[in-house]
Structure 1
Amino acid sequence: MNRYIHACSRLLTLICVALAGTAQAQETWYGLPVPPTFAPHTIPAIIGSRGPAPAVVPAQELQFNELEGDRLASDLKNIVQFSRQSLINQELGGNQMWGRVAGFPSLTATADWVADQFQQYGIEDVEIQQVSQNPDSSLWLPQRWEVRLLANEHTGGDDVVLSTAVALSPSYIAGGSLQAPLVYTGNARPAVLEHIDVSGKIAVQHITPQAHLVFERSHAVPRAQDLFARGAVAVLNIIDQPGNEMARDLANCGGPCFNVGGRDGVFLSAALDAAASQGHSGTLQARLSLQAQEYSGLQAENVIAVIPGQSTETIVINAHMDAWYDGAGDNGDGLAVLMALARHFSRDDVTLQRTLVLVASAGHHTPGLNGPSNAVAMNPDLFDEALLIFNLEHVAQRNFSPARSVLPDGYRDFIADSGEAPIVAGITNESAYLQSLFDAGVQRYGVNFVSGNSDMASGEGGGYRRANVPIVTTMQAPPLYHTSGEVEEVISVPGMERMARFMAWFIKQVDTADRNRINPAGSGE
C-alpha cells in the first residue's frame, strides 16, 4: 500500500507540473493582460532556426571524436535529468524548488554517474570522497511560498499570483504570512526614497541586470537593507530578465525578500502605474506567505579521477556538479566539458608528462560543504605538487539580446543570436604565457573569450586558493544565470565542443611548458 501511495503522489506531482504552464483564469486586471503562469523546464526566450556556428576543428584533431558536440550534448541531457528528478521527488521540500543540490539525493546521483562514466572510459584511479558540512553552517531553503496581488474594487477581476516569485535566503515571515500595501521605489536610491514613505509597506524595487545578477548584488542588496531600515515590511525585486522565469540570486536583504521574474515584473509595474494614474495609490495590496527550513549536518560527494603521467606534478581541472533548477548552464555545460576531457585523456594514444587530476566538485551552493577546499584538504598528495588548477564554470550558454517585438502586456522578448555569451578567462597570477594560450584559443577554435585580461578566481576558484598555486577560471555572465531558464535548449552544442577542444589543447600546452613560464612569480597569487 505504501508503494502505491508513493506512486500516486509522484503521479500527482507530474500532473501539477504539467498544469503549471496553463494560463491563470483571470483575463484582465486594471485592463491589463495577466501574465502566464510559470512552467518549469521551459525556454525563456526565442530560439530561432539559425543555430550557433559550427565548431572549428584543426585537421590534426579530427580523429578526436570524443570531443564532438553531440557527445557533450548527450552528457548534458543526462546531467539535467538529475535536476528534473529532484523536482519529481520534491526532495528540496516542495514542488517550487529543484536542482542538483549538495546534501540531497540529486547531487549524490550525479556524483555516482560521473564516477561510473570515468571508470567506463578506462580511468582506473576514481574515488568518490564524502565531505561533511561544517557544524556551524546551514543551508536555508524555502519550502512553500506565494506572492499574491489582492484584487479590489478598482482592479477588477480576481487575485493574481506572481508565479515566478522566489523567496530569497534567509527570509522569514512571522506566522507564515503578511499583508500590506505595495509601494514602488524604483532603483531605491536615497535621493528617491526621501520622498517615499515605505513604513509598514511592501517595497518594490526595480533591477535591470547588466549581465547576470551576480553583478547586481553589491547594489540591490544594500538598497533592500535600506528599505527595511526605513520600515518596509517586505521587499519585492522586479528583475528585468528573459521570459517568465524564476531567478534565485541575491540574499541577506534584511527581511522577507522575493525576486519576481520578467513578465510578472512587467505586469506588477504596469498595475502600480495604473493604480497611480487612477488616483488609487496605496490601495494595491499583496499577501506574502512563506515556509522555510534550515538544513545542517549534510553530507555530499566530490569525485576525484587521476590519470597518471610521467611525473607526480599535477594539473587539476575542476567543474562543479551543483545547480539550481535544471542547471544546464551553471554548471551542466562545464561538467559536460570535464566528461569530454576524461574521455580524451583516457585514450591510449594521448599521453601526458604531468599527472592530470579531474575533480567533479560539490557544495557550490551549500554553505559549509565547499568541494574545492575539501578536495585540497583531503588530497595533499595531489595538491602539494599542483602546477595549476583550472575551474570550468558555465562556459557555453547562448547569447541573448532583447528582440524588437513587444508583447501585448508590454514585455519585450529576448532572442538568441548565433554565438555564445562572452567568457571571462581569469588567471590569478596573470601569467603572460597562460594569457597567450587564451589569445590562441580565440583564433584556433573560435571560443568567445572577452578581449581583456582578468585575475578573477570567483565561483569554485575561490575554494582552491588554499592550494597556493595559479588558478585559472573560465566563466560566462549571461542573463539566465541561477534561473529556471537554464534549460538544455539555451546551451550551444558547438560552444561546448569549442571549449572542450580548446581545453584539451590548453592542457597539452601546459603539460610541456616550463614551470617558470606558467608561474613566473612562484606563487598562486
Structure 2
Amino acid sequence: MSQMPKRWCAGARRWTGVALVLSAAASGVTAQPLVDANGFVREEAYDHLRRALSDEDAVYADIEGRRLKIWLEEVVAFSRRSRDDGNRYWGRISGTQYEVMAADWTEAQFRRLGMHDIHRVDFDLGPQWFPVDWDLAASAGDDTLTFMSANPAMGSQTLELDGVEAVWVGLGTAADFAGRDIAGKAVIIQTILAPGQMGNSASWEGATIRAEEAGAALILGVWGYGGNFAIWQRTNAFQMVRNDDGTSRYVNQIVSTPGFFLGFEDGRKLRDLVAAGEPVTISARVEAETREGLSSPSIFGTLPGMTDETIYVMAHMDGYYDAALDNASGMAVMIGLADHFAGVPMSERRRNIVFIGTAGHHVGSPSALYLRDQGLLENTALMINCEHIAPTQFVAFNNELRLTNTVSPRRWWVHGSQRLLDITLDAYRTFGVTVIGEMDGRATGEMMAIDKEAPSVQLIRSPEHKHTDGDVPELVPAAGLESAARAFAKILDQANELNLEELQAAPARSSR
C-alpha cells in the first residue's frame, strides 16, 4: 500500500472526506474496523462485493482481484519514477520516458504470455505543452497565502503577473457577473463537480467564457466542494451533451485566458481572505515549454484463434500523477484478460484476440484512428475498452467527500445486436458490476472515435478525483477490478458463440 499523500493528512490539510460510509447497516460498533491507519478503506472491506462463482463460471476463478491490483501498482510505479525524478508535471505523461516504461511493461507481459505478432506503432504527437515550474500567491495587508494544490490551467503559456486584483464571482453565472467590472482582474470561480473533469459547473454555466469575454487577466478555478485536489484541467467550457435522440456529443469552447486550478481547502482560504474586506491581490508565475519531436507508442500482441475474425481489447497507458484509476486500472484488467485467455488452447479460441496498450490518450488517442484508417476493423467481431474500471464511490456530505466500501456505478456502452446487449448486461449482473441506469449515448474515452465501427462494449467512470493527485491505488479496490474483468471475459466468451452477423445487428434496448 502506498503512503498517503500529505494533502490527505489531517495534520497537513483538512481532508475530512477520508471517512468510512458502510454500504451495509452499522452494527453499533464505534471503532472504525474497515479503515486503515491512513484513512483509506481496507481491501477486505470490499470483499462483500465478490460473487460466488457458479459451476458454469468457475472457469473465471483465475481472474483474481488481488493479482490485478498488483499489476495496477506496478504500472503506478512508473508514474512515481517521474515524480521522484523531480518533475512537477509528473505521471505517465504522453511523450515521456515514463509512458514508454508502461509500454515496455505491457510488452513484457505480452511476451510472458507467449503472444504472437508483438509489435509497436509509434505516433508523432506534434508540439506538446509542458509546464516546468509555477507559483500562485494571494496577499491582503500583512497576510500572504500560497497554495500547495495550485496547478496552472493546461495550455497556459509562460507568464508572470504581480499585484492583480482578485474578484470572487461564486459559480460564475450571469447573475454573479452582473454589474461587476472584472477587466484586468483575477476572477475566482467556485466549481461544483458533477462528477468532475467530465462535468463541472464552470463548464456548463459558461463561467470561464464569461470571464474571458469580460476581459479577466487570470481565471482561478476552485475544484469542487471538498478535499484539496491538485488537478490538471483546462479552462475550456467542456461538457458531454445528450441529444434528443439519446445519442451524445462533446461541446468544447476554447478559453485562452491563463488560469490556475486549486483544491477546495486552498480555495476556501482564498475566498475567506477576500471576504475579510481588505483588497486582495494575486501573483502568478508559470514557466512552460512547447516540446517538439515527441512520440507515443502503442504496443500490440495477439492470441491467435481459429478464424480470421478479430476481437480487440484495449487500454490506454498514459496518465496524470499516479493515474491508478486513469488508467492503470484498465491496463491491469486488460492484462488479466490476456492472462486468462492465454490459458485457453488456441483450438478453443474461435477468433484472434488482439490486445493493445494504446498511445497518447490524453493528447488525441491516435491508436483508435489508426485502427480505422488502416482497415483493421473490417473483420472485427467485438471491441472492449478497459478504462477507469473500478473507482471507490464517494458520498458528498456537507463539504466532505466520504469514502465508502463500494464501487461507483459506471457509465456503460454497447454497440451491436440485442443479443450482445443482453449478454453484456447478464455478465454485469452475474458478477455484480454496478452501472448507471441509462446507457451512454456514445462511447467516451479511448474508443470514442470508432465506437460504431464494430460491435463494442465498455465500462467507464470519471469521478471527482480523475486527473488529480487523489487518483491513488487505494481508491481502486481489487474486488471491483475482479468483477469487471470477469464480466468482460464472459462477454468475450459468449460473443464467440455468435456469428459476426449476430453481433452486428442493429442495437436495441434490453428488456431486462
- Flag the 1:173–1:101 CA change in 2: closer, same or farther, 3 A: closer
In the TM superposition, what are the counterparts of 1:153-232 in structure 2 within 5 Å? 153=142, 155=143, 159-174=144-159, 176-216=160-200, 219=203, 222-232=206-216
What secondary structure sits across from 1:315 in the alignment?
strand
Contact 2:151 2:231 in 1 (8 A): yes
In the TM superposition, what are the counterparts of 1:40-79 in structure 2 within 5 Å? 46-48=39-41, 51-52=45-46, 53-60=48-55, 61-62=57-58, 64-79=60-75
Residue identity opposite 1:100 in structure 2: R
How much does 1:117 deviate? 0.9
User: CA offsets per residue over residues 109-141 of structure 1, 9 Å max, x none?
Assistant: 1101111111112223322222222xxx42212
How much does 1:18 deviate? 11
In the TM superposition, what are the counterparts of 1:32-431 in structure 2 within 5 Å? 35=13, 46-48=39-41, 51-52=45-46, 53-60=48-55, 61-62=57-58, 64-90=60-86, 95-133=87-125, 137-153=126-142, 155=143, 159-174=144-159, 176-216=160-200, 219=203, 222-240=206-224, 242-252=226-236, 253-275=255-277, 280=278, 283-349=279-345, 351-367=348-364, 370-377=366-373, 380=375, 382-403=376-397, 412-429=399-416, 431=417
How much does 1:146 deviate? 1.2
- Flag the 1:241–1:323 CA change in 2: closer, same or farther, 3 A: farther
In the TM superposition, what are the counterparts of 1:6-45 in structure 2 within 5 Å? 35=13
- Alpha-carbon separation, structure 2, partners of 1:210 and 1:84: 29
What secondary structure sits across from 2:315 in the alignment?
strand
**Alignment match, 1:514:** 499
**Alignment match, 1:3:** none
**Alignment match, 2:19:** none
RMSD (Å) for aligned C-alpha atoms? 2.8
Residue identity opposite 1:206 in structure 2: Q
User: CA offsets per residue over residues 238-265 of structure 1, 9 Å max, x none?
Assistant: 1115422211123443211111112112
- Alpha-carbon separation, structure 1, partners of 2:437 and 2:7: 41
- Flag the 1:473–1:19 CA change in 2: closer, same or farther, 3 A: closer
- Flag the 1:131–1:231 CA change in 2: closer, same or farther, 3 A: closer
Residue identity opposite 2:444 in structure 1: S
Residue identity opposite 1:352 in structure 2: R
Residue identity opposite 1:487 in structure 2: V
- Alpha-carbon separation, structure 2, partners of 1:161 and 1:218: 23
How much does 1:326 deviate? 0.5
**Alignment match, 2:476:** 491
Residue identity opposite 2:351 in structure 1: R
User: TM-score, structure 2 length as denominator?
Assistant: 0.83
- Alpha-carbon separation, structure 1, partners of 2:14 and 2:158: 27
347-356 or 286-295: which moved more?
347-356
**Alignment match, 1:40:** none
- Flag the 1:315–1:112 CA change in 2: closer, same or farther, 3 A: same
- Alpha-carbon separation, structure 2, partners of 1:384 and 1:345: 23
**Alignment match, 1:435:** 421
- Alpha-carbon separation, structure 2, partners of 1:315 and 1:189: 47
Contact 2:150 2:261 in 1 (8 A): yes
- Alpha-carbon separation, structure 2, partners of 1:462 and 1:486: 23
What secondary structure sits across from 2:199 in the alignment?
helix
Tell me which protein shows more helix as a share of its residues.
Answer: 1
Residue identity opposite 2:407 in structure 1: E
Contact 1:46 1:413 in 2 (8 A): no
User: CA offsets per residue over residues 301-344 of structure 1, 9 Å max, x none?
Assistant: 11111111111111111110111110000111111000000100
- Alpha-carbon separation, structure 2, partners of 1:456 and 1:300: 26
Contact 1:428 1:455 in 2 (8 A): no
How much does 1:151 deviate? 4.1
Choose which of 480, 500, 517 in structure 1 pairs with 2:485.
500
Contact 2:49 2:406 in 1 (8 A): no
119-128 or 212-221: which moved more?
212-221
Residue identity opposite 1:517 in structure 2: E
- Flag the 1:221–1:301 CA change in 2: closer, same or farther, 3 A: farther
How much does 1:270 deviate? 2.2
The reply to whether residue 446 of structure 1 matches residue 446 of structure 2 is no
Contact 1:240 1:261 in 2 (8 A): yes
498-507 or 345-354: which moved more?
345-354
Contact 2:411 2:459 in 1 (8 A): yes
- Alpha-carbon separation, structure 1, partners of 2:271 and 2:5: 26
- Alpha-carbon separation, structure 1, partners of 2:440 and 2:458: 10
- Flag the 1:454–1:23 CA change in 2: closer, same or farther, 3 A: closer
* Structure 2 spans left out of the alignment, 5+ residues: 16-35, 237-254, 508-512
Contact 2:311 2:381 in 1 (8 A): yes
- Flag the 1:51–1:266 CA change in 2: closer, same or farther, 3 A: farther
Q: How many residues align?
A: 462
Residue identity opposite 2:354 in structure 1: V
Residue identity opposite 2:189 in structure 1: Q
Residue identity opposite 1:366 in structure 2: V
Contact 2:192 2:202 in 1 (8 A): no
- Alpha-carbon separation, structure 1, partners of 2:373 and 2:466: 30
What secondary structure sits across from 2:496 in the alignment?
helix
